[in-house]
Amino acid sequence: MSNMLQIQEVAKGYNRGKPNEIQVLSGINLTVSKGEVVALVAPSGAGKSTLLHIAGLLDNADAGQVVIDGTDVTSLDDKARTAMRRAQVGFIYQFHHLLPEFSALENIVLPQLANGVPEADARARALKLLTSVGVEARADHRPAAMSGGEQQRVAFCRALANRPALLLADEPTGNLDPATSDRVFDALMTVAKDEGLAALIVTHNMDLAAKMDRVLRLENGVLVEA
Ligand SMILES: Nc1ncnc2c1ncn2[C@@H]1O[C@H](COP(=O)(O)OP(=O)(O)OP(=O)(O)O)[C@@H](O)[C@H]1O
């Protein structure tokens, strides 16, 4: 099947029954295919993080269905959901949370070792990813000895280390100059096309969004084609 992520009629609110009740998502429908990179644009507070957390199995919807690679995750228990998230989903956050006591390379190798990948293969993948975004010369540096943009690129590599089926990213090129941002974007498109990765990328950069396969806007709790 070519659909990697399918979201149907997903609704989510906070503070139900209280005076400060807020309905953030009110009927989200979204399909992302294998190899497809979709931009998600929306004003601050529109519910992007809420949607990414539901799509990435970090939070539950109040209603609706989330299907990842053919499995309806709304029917899974917590343990199965966590296992699915670890196996299938890669995240890139605005704040990248690299492990401070390990080098850039180790930050990308360690999650692969935890997943049973042989060390030589894990190191080769890490170096290939670091090279694709131009930070291979920083492979042995710890995060504190790298610039914010370099750390962000390492976090990008780490998110892709275990060949996730689905990548969810919040402004993955936010700290980068236009040329470096383009390079990271090209690396993302290459992985998507070569490995069948499906990606949902939050960005405020409309030039970048326009280069993706599709642009969706989150407005008033629903998604519309931009
Ligand atoms: N745990 C929570 N409890 C109550 N309200 C919440 C909670 N989490 C988020 N909200 C509210 O839900 C709305 C959507 O939040 P969300 O973080 O998804 O927005 P966003 O589009 O990611 O915003 P930004 O671009 O500013 O990060 C906001 O009004 C926020 O205040």
pLDDT for 24 beyond 80: yes
Given the DSSP bridges, would you call strands 166-170 and 89-92 parallel, antiparallel or unpaired? parallel
pTM of the model: 0.93
Sketch the domain layout of the chain as residue ranges.
3-225
Atom of ligand 1 nearest to the CA of 47: 18
**Domain boundaries 3-225, CATH class:** alpha beta
ipTM of the complex: 0.96
**Nearest CA residue ID for atom 29, ligand 1:** 45
The pLDDT value recorded for residue 226 is 85
Choose the residue to mutate in 24, 171, 202 for probing ligand 1, maximizing ligand atoms within 8 Å of C-beta: 24
The pLDDT value recorded for residue 17 is 86
Extended strands (E) in 42-179:
63-68, 71-72, 89-92, 166-170
Q: Where does the pLDDT of residue 193 fall: very low under 50, low under 70, confident under 90, or very high at 90 and above?
A: very high
**Nearest CA residue ID for atom 9, ligand 1:** 50
Residue 126 one-letter amino acid:
A
The pLDDT value recorded for residue 91 is 93
Summarize pLDDT for 128-176 with one digit per residue, the tens: 999 999 999 999 999 999 999 999 999 999 999 999 999 999 988 888 8
pLDDT for 1 beyond 70: no
- Average pLDDT (183-198) is 94
The pLDDT value recorded for residue 151 is 94
